[in-house]
Amino acid sequence: MTLYRESTGNGDLPLVCLHGWGLNLRVFDALREDLGDAQPLIAIDLPGHGASAWDASRAGFDAQVDAVLESLPPRCALLGWSLGGQLALQTAARAPDRVARLVLVATTPRFVAEATWPHGMADSVMQRFATQLASDWHQTVEDFLQLQVRGSRDATAALAQLQRALREHGEAQPAALAAGLEILKSVDLRDVAAQVHVETLVVSGQHDRITPPGASAWLAATLPHAHAVELPRAGHAPFLSHAPDFTRELRAFLEAA
């Protein structure tokens, strides 16, 4: 599976960015501009999203990690947001020689809450998304975008950027959305986190309704080499709603490499 990607900038350690469920690489355009050409950046469309083709035989989580690995340069800093964060975490665990630095944005090892994991969405909410996806996938994606910015400062502007990414670069294919939602419902990376010995920046939003900040706090405490930043009055897309603060933290982390 060849994933579509766009590369800009010059430097020795490219930053590879993986987006979340239902979106595409256009969500990182503002970050690319903020970092400037001095920081090489590679943004990737996940399988069946944006300009990347969909292959039903590689719909599972491990197969999508394989696709990400095939798209990485020999050595990089890897940034993952939401579902992209889970893929980035598993990629770093599987190929630590390829990942020099790891950035997890609004990421959780497990999306769905259970008795031993209070930092997730209720299973009933995930089931409701799955039911709605089968009947009206356009509205399901729109509802998910609305949920991402709820409680955030500058929510209207952040939502507009998410919507523009889909309008300009294309919506995800329904089959890819269904497969991605199944990953969100089933994947549990709690056992993986302790095995990732990569310097990691964990960024969360105070009012994130999808991956509560408690999930990021757990990751920061479990990853052997992690630094956590919680942005006040941020939702699920802090790199959009709090761009200056996010970019400052990211640049400092990358420059320390």
Residue 208 appears among annotated catalytic residues: yes
pLDDT tens digit string along 74-91? 999 999 999 999 999 999
- Rounded Cα distance between 43 and 6, Å, is 5
Q: Return the pLDDT at 93.
A: 98
Radius of gyration for the alpha carbons in the chain, expressed in angstroms and rounded = 16
Q: Tokens 């709605």: give the residue.
A: 132
Tokens of 5: 């990607």
Predicted model pTM: 0.97
Q: Is 94 left (phi over 0), alpha (psi -120 to 50) or beta?
A: alpha
Q: In the predicted model, is pLDDT for residue 222 greater than 90?
A: yes
Averaged pLDDT score across all residues of the chain: 96
How far, in Å, are 90, 176, 253 from residue 60 at the CA level?
A: 13, 10, 31
Q: In the predicted model, is pLDDT for residue 11 greater than 90?
A: no
Q: In the predicted model, is pLDDT for residue 34 greater than 90?
A: yes
Mean pLDDT to the nearest integer, 15-33: 98
Q: Is 70 left (phi over 0), alpha (psi -120 to 50) or beta?
A: alpha
Alpha-carbon torsion angle 195, 197, 203, 204, nearest 10 = 20
Which of these is catalytic: 82, 204, 216, 241? 82
- Rounded Cα distance between 205 and 155, Å, is 12
Q: Are strands 200-205 and 226-231 parallel, antiparallel or unpaired?
A: parallel
Q: Return the pLDDT at 74.
A: 96
With CA atoms as reference, report the closest residue to 181 among 122, 133, 121, 232.
133
229 near 249, Cβ under 8 Å? yes
235 near 152, Cβ under 8 Å? yes
Q: What is the sign, positive or negative, of the torsion defined by CA atoms of 84, 89, 91, 96?
A: positive
43 near 28, Cβ under 8 Å? yes
How many domains does the chain contain in total? 1
Residue 236 appears among annotated catalytic residues: yes
Q: In the predicted model, is pLDDT for residue 158 greater than 80?
A: yes
CATH of the domain at 194: 3.40.50.1820
Which of these is catalytic: 208, 216, 241, 242? 208
Mean pLDDT to the nearest integer, 185-199: 97
Residue 119 appears among annotated catalytic residues: no
Which of these is catalytic: 52, 236, 241, 242? 236
Q: In the predicted model, is pLDDT for residue 1 greater than 70?
A: no
The DSSP result for 68-133, as a single string, is HHHHS-SSEEEEEETHHHHHHHHHHHH-TTTEEEEEEES--S-SB-BTTB-SSB-HHHHHHHHHHH
Name the residue range of residue 22's domain: 5-255
The confidence band for 237, taking pLDDT boundaries of 50, 70 and 90, is very high
The confidence band for 3, taking pLDDT boundaries of 50, 70 and 90, is very high
230 near 206, Cβ under 8 Å? yes
The confidence band for 97, taking pLDDT boundaries of 50, 70 and 90, is very high
